[in-house]
Chain A
Amino acid sequence: MFTKKLLSTCLGAGLAAVFAMSASAADITGAGSTFVYPVLSKWSADYNKINGDKLNYQSIGSGGGIAQIKAATVDFGASDAPMKPEDLQAAGLGQFPVVVGGIVPVINVKGIASGQLKLSGKVLADIFLGNVNKWNDKAIADLNPGLKLPDSQIAVVHRSDGSGTSFNWTNFFSKVNPDWKSKVGEGTAVNWPVGIGGKGNEGVAAYVTRVKDSIGYVEYAYALQNKLPFALVQNAAGQYPKPNAESFGAAAASAEWGTAKDFFLIMTNAPGEKAWPITATTWAIMYKQPKDAARSKAAFDFFKWALEKGQKEASSLDYVPLPETLVKQIEGYWTSEFKG
């Protein structure tokens, strides 16, 4: 079985390389994050109608996307975790955000409706640490006066596969809970202290639906589609905004993009009053001086169209358009950093 997996990975990489070589000059190839796959497919279909260029995107995971762009087998890589500016410089790469989305805690507790339960980031992290393990724990009760909490064990559900969703989730925990930072840390996959692992957003959604008294986390779109009750999370300004396009957008707008070199900034715990605290973005990674300038230009044209015209489609898929100021900054970054 393993060899099969390895083979398919190699095959995938090989195929990507073959596609990259055999594609005509106007075809754009990309690989990476599964988070942006739905919106990239939509963009690709619409862009193809308007412009004729085709986008061939393989959602092999952020790690794979970075590996593929480093090997120069694709025109762009897409990653849910940004590359460090020094790593980018060493490889001659640049990166910029493409789309914004939110991650929400989802619960399955009898008697608690969607949006009723309020949690601070610290308490949420304590639940995932196993420090708070009962729903009627004082830490939760103090944040929810008047809400009747059951005297039952909390069943924690996390992602079993490495994912950008987990990266942003654990990054948020590291920012708001020193205990989490020292014991677990942040990453696409971490050593989870408690809980069971579901594969993919759909796996976590299935477990949370199935397991009583559980709490998990999924991308916003999955919570909507599966009608999972969500909990509210306190943001850096002390508010409890509802998770929706507005609060994700507020997080993207309030983040300090202007001072972040190579857009190396993780939006969790954004400072805005209305900002949803666990907002995420996906970065496209490209060569600053590409070997094939024509293909790279085709990719830039695509992203330019996507950032300016394609954001409506993003909203229809429950992603959030990038704030206009950020789009301006990205276009400035393109002209100053990328040649050809």
Chain B
Amino acid sequence: MSEALATMPAATSTPPRRTGILGDRIFFWIVTACGLIVLAALLAAAASMLWGGLSAFRTFGFGFITGTEWDPVAGHFAGLVPIYGTLVTSALAMIIGVPVSLGIAVFITEVAPRAIRGPVGGAIELLAGIPSIIYGMWGLFTFAPFMSDYVQPILIDWLGPIPLIGALFSGAPLGIGMLTSGIVLAVMIIPFISSVMRDVFLVVPPQLKESAYALGSTKWEVVRDIVIPHTRTAVVGGIFLGLGRALGETMAVTFVLGNTHNIAISLMEPGTSIAATLANEFAEASDDLYRSSLTALGLILFVVTFIVLAAAKVMLVRMARQRGE
């Protein structure tokens, strides 16, 4: 090698470049390897879950997704109840979390005085670092009692009698259940969504915003017509990052969802989610079919998350096309 290098100047007369090319090659292979690791891990995870869940899918067929029975004693397994619980709690989390996150991001970037932007931003990032078990314990010991003593009785009394919507708010104020889980999940994903939103709102060119203000726009109009359209790809990305976390959240949900294999219309009722079912039952699932059914549930969660992310991508592409970009 050193010999080759020594002869190089005579051959090309640009030695630094040649070593640069070599360095570039190495760099190329290193980053490619990093990228491939992600891909390989993803494929391996999918393949091993498919392999593990195969006997459940073979035994129960399509009924595994549409059935509601989960009876470890009789060996009948079907996943609709946890799938339903996962989707409902995540949807609740998004309904609550996205507007609040948007508000936080707008407050920090557009409204707040400079002096408090830093502290509020830092606080959000700190919230993102709290382990989920802490949220779960807070949810069970602090938030659930608060819900059962103050929030749920009011909801049941006020909204319960209304036709249609009332069904969502009926039942006993246990303090744990779908609604509580949705709110706890919202608190957990707000830091993720709002910090992404804040970061991208900060890079909107000030000229654009200042022009709009010069034309007499209010702050809300600037946010709605300039900031959000300019950053929508990243904003949607941030929202789906939060949704991905909500779908897969395990510990916090296990603590406050009630862990009941039961589909109820009411948001006050306990239920279960895929991740909670896995966390609860995997350790003691000694039977092969039982274990396989749990693995199959994991695969379903994987697929649901994949579909959600794919839908987000499609939505972004459509939006871009409509605008003729």
Which chain A residues have a beta carbon within 8 Å of chain B's beta carbons?
Answer: 1-3, 5-6, 9, 60-64, 66-67, 153, 155, 160-163, 184-192, 195-199, 203, 206-207, 210-211
Contacts and interface: CB of A to CB of B under 8 A. Distances in A.
Contacts of A185: 73-74
Interface in B286-325: 286, 295, 297-298, 301-302
Contact of A1 (B259, B261, B275): B275
B71 A199 contact: no
A276 B286 CA distance: 29
Contact of A2 (B141, B275, B283): B275
B302 A2 contact: yes
A191 B270 contact: no
A196 B174 contact: yes
A61 B301 contact: no
Interface stretch (B212-220, B229-237, B249-257): B249-257
The 6 closest A-B pairs by CB, nearest first: A162-B284, A197-B259, A160-B259, A61-B283, A63-B286, A1-B248
A184 B73 contact: yes
Interface in B120-172: 140-141, 144-145, 148, 172
A145 B261 CA distance: 36
Contacts, number: 124
Given A196-B174, A198-B259, A63 B285 contact: yes
Interface string B57-84: 0000000000001111110000000000
8 contacts: A5-B282, A5-B298, A63-B284, A63-B286, A192-B260, A195-B260, A197-B258, A211-B174
A1 B279 CA distance: 10
B258 A191 contact: no
Contacts of B45: 3, 6
Contacts of B71: 190-191
A190 B254 contact: no
Contacts of A192: 260-261
B255 A203 contact: yes
> Which one of A60, A161, A184, A192 has the highest number of Cβ atoms from chain B below 10 Å of its Cβ?
A161
Contacts of B141: 206
Contacts of A60: 283
B281 A161 contact: yes
A191 B174 contact: no
A189 B281 contact: yes
Contacts of B282: 5, 9
Contacts of B261: 191-192
B283 A186 contact: no
Contacts of B148: 210-211
B185 interface: no
A187 B283 CA distance: 14
Nearest to B283: A61
A3 B298 contact: yes
Given A1-B248, A62-B286, A210-B175, A197 B301 contact: no
> Which one of A2, A64, A186 has the highest number of Cβ atoms from chain B below 10 Å of its Cβ?
A2
A285 B213 CA distance: 76
A60 B282 CA distance: 10
A87 B280 CA distance: 26
A2 B304 CA distance: 13
> Which one of B249, B270, B297 has the highest number of Cβ atoms from chain A below 10 Å of its Cβ?
B270
B286 A196 contact: no
A6 B278 CA distance: 9
B174 A2 contact: no
B73 A187 contact: yes
